[in-house]
Amino acid sequence: MKRYLKTDEWNIIEDNFNADNLRMSESIFSLGNGRFGQRGNFEEPYSSDSYRGSFVAGVTFLDRTRVGWWKNGFPVFYSRIPNAADWSHISLRLIDEELDLAQWDVNTFNRRLDMKVGIAYRDVEVTSPKGNRLRIHVEHINNMAHPDLCIIKYNVTSINYTGKASLVPSLNAIVTNKDDEPNEKIWNILRSGATKDCAYLWTQTRREDAQVCYAMTYQFLKNGKETVANPIRIEKEQQAGFSLGAGMKPGDNITLIKYTAITTSLYYERQNLIDHSIAQAQQAKTTGWDTLVSHHLQAWADIWNEMDVTIEGDPEAQQGIRYNIFQLCQTYRGDDPRLNIGPKGFTGEKYGGNTYWNTELCCVPFFQLSTPREIVKNLLTYRYNQLPKAIENARKLGFKDGAALFPQVTSNGEECHSEWEITFEEIHRNNIIVYAITQHAAMTGSKNYIAKYGLEVMIAISRFWSQRVSFSTPKQKYVILGVTGPDEYENNVDNNWYTNYSCVQCLRMTLKYLEAIAGEYPNDYARVRRATNLRQQEEAERWRDIIDRMYLPEDKELGIFVQHDGYLDKVLESTDAIPPEERPINQHWSWDRILRSCYIKQSDVLLGLYLYHSHFDEETIRRNFEFYEGMTVHESSLSPHIHAILAARIGKVEKAYQLFLHATRLDLDDYNNETHQGLHITSMPGSWLAIVRGFAGMQVLNKMLSFSPVIPDNWKSYSFKVNYRGRTLHIRVGKEISISLIAGEELSIQIYENVYSLKEGRELNYEL
């Protein structure tokens, strides 16, 4: 835990400069616009410990896989989004000094991320080693309305300085990636240079040949008036820009507005990239700062109108949930099925910007409910497009007949991970993909996606399970041997309850939708059957047999599902038995010690109870929650919100609140001592789900939207919107629950046990 940021409902504020917090703040103040983003690095150079990072969505690099001992099935190369050129670079030079917060005295310091408008502000007063005092004011915008545009305003006021001051904006390809081998080269510079007022840098990733082109132009003002600064061009191989100078005296100020266009080969023809990006940068200058900002503000206003959650009475929770929504939305826009969401988004190199099951577990249910836009369809299509590679991936591991294993980590559909216990064994990941498909049908009320795309994925995954299970003679049941469940603090276990249970659900859903699509979409059914060579009767029979005779470990005496075979042989202790200085255990304990302990990294059995909630009664949930929660260390960011939701459901509101806070302020309060590496972008929607699915108790029971709200003691109210089958509802929970239908046709809903009909424009009030 680390708390030094100010609490504010709409702003993230750091009002004191402490170099020890710099890496964490650089993560926290990250900015993005769905197409690119960067850590909250100072624009000017910083000569001490810092972690600079700029990333461009979908632009990957093929790196050599490094492992100690090779295993058959490991990928030779793995794809990742590398640290790109730094397009925010602006240095400030006095006659013989250069601004550097690591070397200069920082008299006052304030930075503020205004989440309502998506602007990062920085105000600093500094004294140089030679005694020159300056005030710096910076505004940084990754424009949400103009997906190729980053605009920065950099203003310098002299307090006591007299002399020439230069601002030097540039595009800088001299970057290092933390994970690199010393001599590894990632970026080829194809061309760099400068025209009269526009600098450009054209780059390409090695082996994958993805291209990014940057172009920048500028306005330079002295005391608010645009001025000719006698620009000096900077044209180095890896850096292009301008040096812009003006004489200053105390009270004078100079301002640089840097307009940078960032374009990639994902969206533009390669041969046009330079021309196009130069044109974009120049167009931006013509449009001007104020107009560009107003477009940006409107884009954020639209997002908040859809997705904002209010919490009265708890500014920390309010700040946290908005921060999470803000960060997710500036990472991923949902408009391109080629893109997905890396666990760290644009905020760090870890996880390589790749796609994990985090997306389906945490982001899909958020987007499904929080917006009427078809974002989820794009996320599902992303996987559908990678189905052939998932089949190939399974084939490499010895599976056949069109069985698919989706990768644990991927950008292009190929497996990018090389730890056998994860790559080959964390195979439950297949099931959340089927879960996401069927939830999409349930929430939209349409089987259309399944008929057109989803069914093929479901068949391929069911075929995987059909080959992956084996029959145990002593148990006379199907078993799934050698897996890693969601709790990655257990490896290569047999019969992970969650894996076995979700496998059964997967097969069940495939059978259900096969029948439904055959009836309702006969042409699609025929097409899919041909395309997959489905031997319907034979395969369905096998699947039914597995459903009927799957082994699901359970301890009747304790009344719980057993995480996996042998779990109860462990010494079962509460997490309270771990000395606080040894938390998180993954930073202090050797792996074998973690493995043989009872401690659970993240929700495992409880994950199943959350996902398939309608299958289990409250008493079952309570017993399992009470058994497992105390042993869960929540060292995965995907965990606390699930426990929060279950806790709320069984009436443990205070516990739910603590877990909600953990999920919500994970990065702001640095629960796991790792915020400095980047933010937990894909887990951020968990806090939204904890409110909607947890406190408000939203479920779909018998196809009816249902709420059974609770409210933490210290909250006055909370409110949010949800979208369901074409309707948008607004829900406010305070002393009473108020639900109104903002858009869409009349709808029956359930509050606790009672059913109501909801009409557009009418608010339903229900005393809590």
Cβ atoms of residues 201 and 277 within 8 Å: no
Residue 644, classified by CB atoms within 10 Å of its CB into exposed (0-12), middle (13-18) or buried (19+), is buried
Whose Cβ is closer to a second copy: residue 159's or residue 568's? 568
Q: How far is CA 620 from CA 22, 482, 558, 615, 651, in A?
A: 46, 27, 11, 10, 14
Interacting residues of 298 by C-beta distance below 8 A, sequence separation 6+: 145
Tell the smallest beta-carbon distance from residue 464 to a second copy (Å): 12
CB closer to a second copy, 523 vs 590: 590
Which amino acid, one-letter code, is at 139? E
List active site positions.
488
Least distance between a second copy and beta carbon 483 (Å): 8
CB of residue 51 vs a second copy: minimum separation in angstroms? 18
Per CB under 8 A, residues contacting a second copy are: 65-69, 71-73, 181-183, 396-398, 417-421, 424-425, 470-475, 479, 481-482, 491-494, 565-566, 568-572, 586-593, 595-596
**Angle, CA 515 vertex, CA 513 and CA 518 arms, to 5°:** 105
Of the candidates 481, 482, 461, the one whose C-alpha atom is nearest the C-alpha of residue 401 is: 461
Residues 6+ apart with CB under 8 A from 408: 356, 357, 415, 417, 422, 423, 426, 429
Taking the alpha carbons at both ends of the chain, their separation in whole angstroms is 35
CA 708, 712, 717: angle at the middle one, nearest 5? 80
Strands 187-194 and 105-114: unpaired
Name the residue among 629, 669, 668 with its Cα closest to residue 648. 629
Q: Report the alpha-carbon distance of residue 375 to residue 102 in Å, rounded.
A: 43
Q: How far is the CB of 593 from a second copy (least distance, A)?
A: 5
Structure tokens at 553: 């470990």
Which of 350, 358, 367, 459 has the alpha carbon at shortest distance from 404? 459
d(CA 564, CA 487): 10
Q: Determine the Cα–Cα distance for residues 250 and 159; give it in Å rounded to an integer.
A: 5
> What is the edge-to-edge ordering of all strands in the sheet holding 31-32?
31-32, 36-38, 54-56
Q: Where are the alpha helices (DSSP H) in 172-250?
A: none
Q: Shortest distance, CB of residue 111 to a second copy, whole angstroms?
A: 32
Half-sphere CA count of 730, side-chain side, radius 13 A: 16
Q: Which two tokens stand for residue 490?
A: 């257990």
Considering the complex, state which of residue 232 and residue 572 has its C-beta at the smaller distance from a second copy: 572
- Distance, CA of 668 to CA of 662 (rounded, Å): 10
CB nearer a second copy, residue 471 or residue 752: 471
CA distance 720 to 731: 5
Q: Could you give the strand order of the β-sheet that contains 704-707, starting from the edge strand earlier in sequence?
A: 699-701, 704-707, 747-751, 754-758
Pair type for strands 187-194 and 199-205: antiparallel
Quick one: 371 or 418, whose CB is closer to a second copy?
418
Min. distance of Cβ 59 from a second copy in angstroms? 23
Nearest approach, Cβ of 590 to a second copy (angstroms)?
4
Q: What tokens were used for 369?
A: 């409910």
Which CB sits closer to a second copy, 481 or 518? Answer: 481
Nearer to a second copy, 585 or 611 (CB): 585
Pairing of strands 149-158, 11-14: unpaired
Quote the least distance from Cβ 425 to a second copy, whole Å: 5
Longest dimension (CA), the chain: 88
Task: Supply the minimum distance, in Å, between the C-beta of residue 567 and a second copy.
Answer: 10
Residue number with CB closer to a second copy (61 or 259) = 61
Q: Rounded to the nearest whole angstrom, what is the least distance from the CB of residue 738 to a second copy in the complex?
A: 49
* Distance of closest approach, residue 389 Cβ to a second copy, in angstroms: 16
The whole-angstrom separation of Cα 705 and Cα 699 is 6
76 burial (CB, 10 Å; 0-12 / 13-18 / 19+) is: exposed
